[in-house]
Structure 1
Amino acid sequence: MKTTDLSKAPRYARAGAVFVGATEYTGARALLVQLPTFLRLRRRLKQAPGFCGYHITYRFPYTFGQIVMFEEMDQLLRFARNKLHRELMRWVTDGDRNARAGFIRLYEAHPGGAYANGAWSADGAEGYDERFTALSTEEEGPFVHPRKAGA
């Protein structure tokens, strides 16, 4: 059910800002050199104001990525400014010695785009909304279960 209260949902459900990024490292040596800095940065990340959670992704052979969630975009952007993160980004982007490629995408939650039910619903909602969320070209979304003509 549509909601504005995700207080009973897992912390990552309350994320309003999401970072998605990945780096293709040049090899095992680059990964090993970077590991101590990454571990320190991860500890700092988990203690950052507004931190909601993260997931690590892997693609063979040397690509690692992260999905990092914060309550608000400013909290995410503030974390990116810390000295340790700057040093790591400088090292990653130092020509093609340490990494071959990388990308970053930032996402913000859509206002009114929160749904919860069951134990995660602060409103005690069960089930689902009667209609899908409307597309940008619609005033109202279609029924989840189409109704028969005349109903």
Structure 2
Amino acid sequence: MTMGIVLKNRLEHSVEKMLSDVIVSVFRSNLKLVFGNRLFYNKDGSLRSVEMTISDRPLYLGDTENFTFWIERIDEKYVNEKEDEEYDWVDEGKNLYQVGYIENIRDIEGIVYKFVYEYLKLNPNDYFWFEDYAFCYKDMEKLSKLPYNPDWCYTNPRLV
């Protein structure tokens, strides 16, 4: 199983804003969204995390390519200098945290590509990390100008 992890500066993260951006990204990439698989709330009523399914066509038609996408709140008790530096290998000093993820991208890299491109277009300071490589909007923009490579997320974007 290969995950796709969203990395974002902790000070810029809001579950509600990310949810809005995911909805717009799904629309712009001509994919389908099943929202509300699971919703979790904080004691104050704010959204803590949400699970949704993103697919190439309506699920009721069967035989769809789809993935489960999670958005999560950053738990303040884990915010510290050590955690601020965990993803410095991606972009030093950006205080990147994991704020969402795709459960498994294997065999659906095409729809993941469409979604990631549109999401990063809306959030150019974020990253999507797959196995060994983290992709930013500039990387996706560069890839969009080339013939589609089904192994795009397993290839170092700096070498393309």
TM (norm. structure 1) is 0.36
More strand by percentage: 2
More helix by percentage: 2
Larger RCO, structure (CA 8 Å, separation 6 or more): 1
